[in-house]
Amino acid sequence: MAFIFDAGFLCGTSPLGGPPLRFGSLQEISVELDVELVRNRGNMQFGSVPTINNMAMKFIAKTAQISGLALHQLYFGSTPTAGSQGLVRDLVATVPASGPYTLTPAVPNSGTWAQDMGVQYSVSGIFLVPVSSAPAQGQYTVVAGVYTFNAADHGAALTLNFLFTQATGISINQTNPWKGLAPQWQAVLVGQYNGQQIVWNLARCASENLKMLLPLNNFSIPQFQFQAYGDASSAQGSLGQFSYPN
Amino acid sequence: MAQPDRETVYAALQTLLVAALGPSPGSATFQTIQRRLLTITNAVPASAPYLLQVQATERSETKKGVPTVHTFTVNLLAYAYFGDGDAVVPDIVLNGLVTAIENACGPNMATAFQQLGIPVSSVVINGIISYFDMAATSGTWSLARVPVEIVATY
């Protein structure tokens, strides 16, 4: 007999390679074993000889830390590349008092400006309108990170948002592949208390659901759902190894 | 690993604080770190800043048939001495001391939890951090009380 205290340890290993991916800051895991019973009733009211038709072993993990590597290897079977996008958010800038009426906001992390995410007047919150050339008052053009405004907007306080690229981080250009096999990965779930552990080593899992809420004034706790399947070790396959202290 | 008992938990917190914030081998944020409460009237300016670890409460939650979960609350009291002058803003000094305590009690980057290496379930600063100024014959002292909550089973 054993007790389990706390959310335990969960690690996923993708056959694509790379490190075993520990689910960081695990908040909770639920395990659900669904058994679909067939009731062979015959002529009897309650039936007899229950048989199993289908079984499913489902896991839902809530984890506070988000790993892009885990997300993409375990859900999409994708391999990341170096480099990432970032957002410069709510950058306050002022249109020069005299020409040229341009702004070239600094890009952090030695990055490169990538895409405009909008310009607003800081005082009123009204959005300026992007145009391809010759901006009138309330309009602007932006080319390669250089914002150009009309002379009538000189001295205006603005709030800018834009995307940029940087060498740090990882990114995945997610493709839209043909229908087919889901990415499969090994999951190891460990619960413990007082020196005793249960270890569920699941040979082949597939991810089936991800919920991520970004709440106001609180941390996001993504919910990650996966299911265990039999591996290719035999005709029947093996679900995995389940270890207990006694 | 077996679960630690009460004294092991408190001693482990003290060890963490001394290692991170004490004169040796830590960063010397505090000159004196101890588990004995000291009144301001007995505090010595040459030994300041002080960091005192004082047990406050223990809450035991037990459900029938399940081991007890203990929540230990510890007050970490930071004393900083300012003499009689007004050249230094006490809040600025205390802010630095409290931030150092926060960092010392912060999570292990690998596990995302602070478990004192024993392990306990978690160590977190939880509650209201209070600040006081007090006058003593030795001069002006400023205090901060940092409530730390430790969740453990044993």
- pLDDT value, residue B51: 97
Say whether pLDDT at B2 is over 70: no
| Three-state secondary structure call for residue A40 | strand
Q: For A143-185, how does the pLDDT look when each residue is reduced to its tens digit (9 = 90+)?
A: 999 999 999 999 999 999 999 999 999 998 888 888 988 889 9
Say whether pLDDT at A50 is over 90: no
Residue B144 C-alpha, separation from nearest chain A C-alpha, in angstroms: 26
A194:B113 CB<8 A: no
**Beta pairing partners, A143:** A146
A194:B112 CB<8 A: no
Whether B87 has its CB under 8 Å from any CB of chain A: the answer is no
Whether A19 has its CB under 8 Å from any CB of chain B: the answer is no
B25: confidence class by pLDDT, cuts 50, 70, 90: low
- pLDDT value, residue A172: 86
- pLDDT value, residue A60: 96
Q: For B38-73, how does the pLDDT look when each residue is reduced to its tens digit (9 = 90+)?
A: 998 899 999 999 999 999 999 999 999 999 999 999
**Lowest pLDDT segment from A129-133, B43-47, B76-80:** B43-47
Give the residue ranges of DSSP H helices in A47-146: 68-71
Say whether pLDDT at B1 is over 60: no
A and B: number of Cβ contacts within 8 A? 23
Say whether pLDDT at B95 is over 60: yes
- pLDDT value, residue A151: 98
Would residue A156 be called left, alpha or beta, if left means φ above 0 and alpha means ψ between -120 and 50 degrees?
A: beta
Interface test with A, best of B68, B153, B154 (most A CBs within 10 A): B153
Q: Which residue has the tokens 């300012």?
A: B82
- pLDDT value, residue A23: 87
Question: Do A63 and A221 form a contact (C-beta atoms < 8 A)?
Answer: yes
Residue A74 C-alpha, separation from nearest chain B C-alpha, in angstroms: 20
Average pLDDT, chain A: 91
Residue A51 C-alpha, separation from nearest chain B C-alpha, in angstroms: 34
ipTM of the complex: 0.80
B67:A64 CB<8 A: no
Residue A27 C-alpha, separation from nearest chain B C-alpha, in angstroms: 11
Q: For B114-127, how does the pLDDT look when each residue is reduced to its tens digit (9 = 90+)?
A: 989 888 899 999 99
- CA of A225: how far to CAs of A97, A205, B104, in Å? 55, 10, 35
The whole model's pTM is what? 0.84
Residue A219 C-alpha, separation from nearest chain B C-alpha, in angstroms: 14
- Contacts of residue B154 in chain A, CB cutoff 8 Å? 194
Burial readout B81-117 (b: 16 or more C-beta within 10 A, e: otherwise): bbeeeeeeebeebbeebbebbeebbeeeeeeebbbbe
Least CB–CB distance from A194: residue in B3, B69, B121: B3
A15: confidence class by pLDDT, cuts 50, 70, 90: confident
B153:A25 CB<8 A: no
A117: confidence class by pLDDT, cuts 50, 70, 90: very high
Average pLDDT, chain B: 90
Q: For A61-80, how does the pLDDT look when each residue is reduced to its tens digit (9 = 90+)?
A: 999 888 888 888 888 888 88
Say whether pLDDT at A82 is over 70: yes
Q: Supply the DSSP symbol for A76.
A: I
